[in-house]
A and B are shown apart, each in its own frame.
Chain A
Amino acid sequence: MITYIIRRLFAGVGLLLIVSMVVFAIFFLIPRLAGTDADGLAARYIGKSPTPEAIAAVKERLNLDEPITVQYGEFVKGLVVGTEYDSGTDVIECSAPCFGYSFKTGTEVWPQLIDRLPVTASLAVGAAVIWLVAGVSIGVLSALRRGTALDRAAMMVALAGVSLPIFFTGLVSLAVFSYYWGIFPPGGSFTPFTENPIAWAHGLVLPWVTLAFLYAAMYARLTRAGMLDTMGEDFIRTARAKGLPERTVIGKHALRSALTPIITIFGLDFGLMLGGAVLTESTFSLPGLGKYAVDAIRGNDLPVVLGVTMFTAVFVVIANLIVDLLYAWVDPRVRVGA
């Protein structure tokens, strides 16, 4: 088991290195292949009217004339041992893991990531609880009441949830519940949990429900399909034949088995979401990691894009590992390392 975890951790580090190389290449190599030179890259970091003097100065400050391998090496070095930046009047210590320094906003990337993590985590955890409880319950009920009005209604709502984009449901919910009825605060409202838990939850109800609506719909459909499959299995018939109560048959045997693929997907979804629920954060103007990433991409702010991508990749790798370990607990048929 421990060997397995260590092996997976090493694989995760290797994956992160590959991710960083790919993102680095996208932002440094592709513009060059498209005809942009170091001057053009430097001009990205300067204001509306870059002078030749400013371009030369920025090229030197950011090492843009260095070969890409050297620049990538600097980035990895910053991650491992940290680095330093000149603010003009002071030297800014960027200690490890130094995810870089945004020359667009004049801020270190790592503190910005940490600062935004509570917003994204609050959004992801709340929404995940809602969608798991609602999605799985509806899916189970639909499967058990297959073909009834309840099943059809639930699947219709699920279809709507899957089909409607978040920026639509989000804006409609804001218009109705925030501006028309005034029940919930407008977009851009986030109060940290530690400051006021009630205001925290109140401000997040609309984003939670909007995000959970999409995922609950998917999970309901997945659970329903899984349950229908499992309910036809031999071991369910055996359980029933042994005279077990129906609640035990469904809860202990059928649901456990049907949950395996749900947990796999949940691990990936949740890991990705910790890296930023891009559409929800943008629609509700929440200052989370997703919004940070989108703004960085729009602004060609490479260190930030690189930082958020690496951060997200870490979550996905960890979530996958946890999911794999959870398999054994949820489904006795699965054995780690088997």
Chain B
Amino acid sequence: MSKKWLGLAAATTSAAMLLTSCGGGGDGGGGTEAEFDAGTTSIVNPSDEQGGTLKFAHSDQFDSLDPGNTYYAANWSFTRFYARSLVTYAQQPGEEGLELVPDLAEDLGEVSDDGLTWTYTLKEGLKFEDGTPITAEDVKYAVARSNFAPDIINKGPVYFSQLLDAGDYEGPYEDEDLDNFTGIETPDERTIEFKLKEPFSEFDYVAAMPQTSPVPADADTGDQYQTQVVSNGPYKFESEWTPGKTLNLVRNEEYDPETDPLTRNRPDKIEVAFKQEENDRDNRLMSGDLHMDVAGLGLEAAARGKILRDENLKAQADNPQTGFKLYFAINPNVEPFDDKACREAVLYGADKTAMQAAWGGEVGGDIATNMLPPSTPGFTEIDPYGTPEHKGDPDKVAESLEACGQEDGFDTKISYRSDRDKEKKAAEALQQALAEYGINAELKGYEAGTYTSEQAGSPAFVEKEELGIMAYGWGSDWPSGYGFFQQIVHGDSIKGAGNSNLSELDDPEINELLDEAAVTDDPAQREEMYAEVDALAMDSATLLPYLDQKALLFRPENVTNVFFGESFKMYDYSAMGLAQ
């Protein structure tokens, strides 16, 4: 059932793309004139022209260029230039961009009757940059190294190691015999069978991660592989790359566009400069000297003000939701939040308009009333702790405080990431709103680099320091309720360090619903379950969502085929070209 639905979606998408590519340089594929926010839902400046150097800048650097060792949306989007995965996302604006299409595989995954085997067949004629044919074994090796060698490769997600039935396999660096990796079987050179411990209905999304991009075992250099990734996509590394230095990608002559569902070979060359000062980067974007901010997090305050005041510049900007939910987690293990009514007092007392102002007003985000992001399939708007104009409800706060036996209020602490100015301001806004009701919150700032690993993400630290309320934000690993919720509300995701379930929510009903959704084939049924999880999570009164974050993105006039990709929640880099 699931397979048919996804197959139909893929066929529709492919047809739409075919029409687009046949449309020449015209306005095909939903192309539109450059105007504010046009790129959020349509293709701006559509063109089939090829050539030029597409210049990206990064204010920091990728966590890794190794497709098996990275966990940021920007990287996943960017690796599509040189690392094709078994499955990928359609190259379309709007909701259609959330649909999966087979990439290296001939089709989406075929699941066995017992739900324990997912099979993919590689297309014919696929080659690495050196002309060597790509085999199923190369995909198997890629998954083995990225998920089963945590001492060496540990920056990416580990869904495969959680899902695959691989026994005590210790990874290819400890155990060189790949036959001992039983989580994947390769009966012939083109067939890849993933063997699961439990059925998992959303496996195609996992197969869409760059970790399924094949790696030839003899070219693997462990944690050094990012310096010379062996390409199977339209571009390859010009030479061995040194981290921090400018990355240059040139055309891969062995790439065959006929095997590719996407058109991702428009520029002749791609260049990424790292560690670029943010304000300087924005100025370069506006001057057209630079084409794209590859991190896709949006412009700095100075450029935002300039763009919003200037109609011409504003017409080159987009303001989409980033899929990132901003919220405060309330920990029921810290007194007095062991009493639900005390948690409710916080939820009713919050002034979300002040928090929105802290993030720059409407350009910074839309006020959120529930946890599931609006662009997630199955999203249903609910507001169980609604207050007049989102500014707080004094009567409800008083009722809640009385119910938890703290009529005069209480003392607590709010933690935030001290080097994230907007988050700090949002925490201050919450502090001020709660102070009106006698809830005195002390602000505790910690650096972002250690916040999840050592403070808010360490339950022992939270209890010791009595961090009752913690500022946080979360985006989905893939566009479904499971991809969003699993790490932040499932009891099994609670960890001693690096914990993202800050509320330490371990509700059997929520756990069961997520587990059941994982084995449910029907997407519509799954979406209902996620809506239910959303309602239950909100009902726990341990989560105070306040904003669906938005970013102000800029697209220079000389960049073609620009649109916001809903899959990675940033401009779809793979489609871009340059006006010649």
A residues near B (Cβ < 8 Å) are 31, 35-37, 39-58, 60-61, 86-90, 92, 105-107, 112, 115, 171, 174-175, 179, 186-188, 282-285, 287, 291-292, 295, 298-300
Contact = CB atoms under 8 A, between A and B. Distances in A.
B497 A43 contact: yes
A91 B18 CA distance: 49
Given A50-B495, A51-B158, A86-B152, A295 B275 contact: yes
Interface in B445-480: 447, 449-450, 452-454, 457-458, 461, 464-465
Contacts of B227: 106
Nearest to B158: A51
Contacts of A56: 150
B498 A55 contact: yes
Given A46-B155, A285-B275, A188 B173 contact: no
Nearest to B220: A89
B157 interface: yes
Contacts of B151: 54, 57-58, 60-61
A175 B306 CA distance: 14
B126 interface: no
A35 B450 contact: no
Interface stretch (B76-84, B280-288, B420-428): B280-288
A47 B156 contact: yes
Contacts of B155: 46-48
A338 to B, nearest CB: 47
B280 A186 contact: yes
Contact of A52 (B287, B465, B496): B496
A66 to B, nearest CB: 16
Tell which of B71, B155, B157, B458 has the most Cβ of chain A within 10 Å. B155
B276 A87 contact: no
Contacts of A187: 276-277, 280-281, 284
A300 B449 contact: yes
A53 B289 CA distance: 45
Contacts of B157: 47-49
B2 interface: no
B280 A283 contact: yes
Interface of B: 57, 60-61, 63-64, 69-72, 145, 149-158, 161, 173, 220-224, 226-227, 242-245, 273, 275-277, 279-281, 283-284, 287, 289-290, 419, 447, 449-450, 452-454, 457-458, 461, 464-465, 487, 495-498, 500
B283 A174 contact: yes
A174 B156 CA distance: 37
A77 B244 CA distance: 27
13 contacts: A39-B458, A43-B457, A44-B450, A44-B454, A45-B154, A48-B155, A51-B150, A61-B152, A90-B224, A105-B243, A107-B242, A186-B283, A287-B275
Contact of B242 (A31, A115, A284, A298): A115
Contacts of A300: 447, 449-450
B289 A88 contact: no
A52 B495 contact: yes
A314 B506 CA distance: 53
Contacts of B450: 31, 36, 40, 44, 300
B224 A87 contact: yes
A88 B152 contact: yes
Given A49-B487, A187-B280, 15 more contacts: A35-B464, A43-B457, A44-B450, A46-B498, A89-B220, A90-B222, A106-B227, A107-B243, A115-B242, A187-B276, A283-B277, A285-B276, A287-B245, A287-B275, A299-B449
Contacts of A107: 242-244
A88 B173 contact: yes
B454 A36 contact: yes
Contact of B154 (A41, A47, A60, A291): A47
B159 to A, nearest CB: 10
A207 B227 CA distance: 30
A186 B173 CA distance: 44
Nearest to A87: B222
A295 B61 CA distance: 10
A89 B60 contact: no
Contacts of A57: 150-151, 154
B273 A188 contact: yes
A49 B498 contact: yes
Contact of A87 (B70, B221, B279, B287): B221
A291 B457 CA distance: 29
A105 B71 contact: no
B173 A89 contact: yes
Nearest to A189: B273
B221 A90 contact: yes
B154 A54 contact: yes
Nearest to A62: B151
A331 B346 CA distance: 71
A16 B476 CA distance: 47
A26 to B, nearest CB: 13
Contacts of B290: 186
A57 B149 CA distance: 9
A58 B153 CA distance: 10
For B156, B227, B280, B452, the residue with the greatest tally of chain A CB atoms inside 10 Å of its CB is B280
Contact of B453 (A44, A88, A105, A298): A44
A284 B281 CA distance: 10
Contacts of B279: 171
Contact of B153 (A55, A88, A291): A88
Contact of A49 (B71, B281, B465): B71
Contact of B277 (A40, A42, A89, A284): A284
Contact of B280 (A35, A50, A174): A174
Contacts of A51: 150, 158, 161, 495, 498
Contact of A106 (B173, B226, B273, B465): B226
B220 A49 contact: no
A47 B63 contact: yes
A44 B451 CA distance: 10
A188 B276 contact: yes
A106 B224 contact: yes
Nearest to B290: A186
Which 3 A-B pairs give the minimum distances between C-beta atoms? A88-B222, A43-B453, A47-B155
A37 B458 CA distance: 10
A318 B158 CA distance: 49
Contacts of A174: 280, 283
A276 to B, nearest CB: 13
Nearest to A38: B497
A175 B226 contact: no
Given A40-B454, A50-B453, A285-B280, A89 B498 contact: no
Contacts of A291: 275
A175 B154 CA distance: 41
A186 B284 contact: yes
Contact of B150 (A54, A188, A282): A54
A299 B224 CA distance: 19
A150 to B, nearest CB: 35
A41 B57 CA distance: 30
A112 B497 contact: no
Nearest to B64: A106
B224 to A, nearest CB: 5
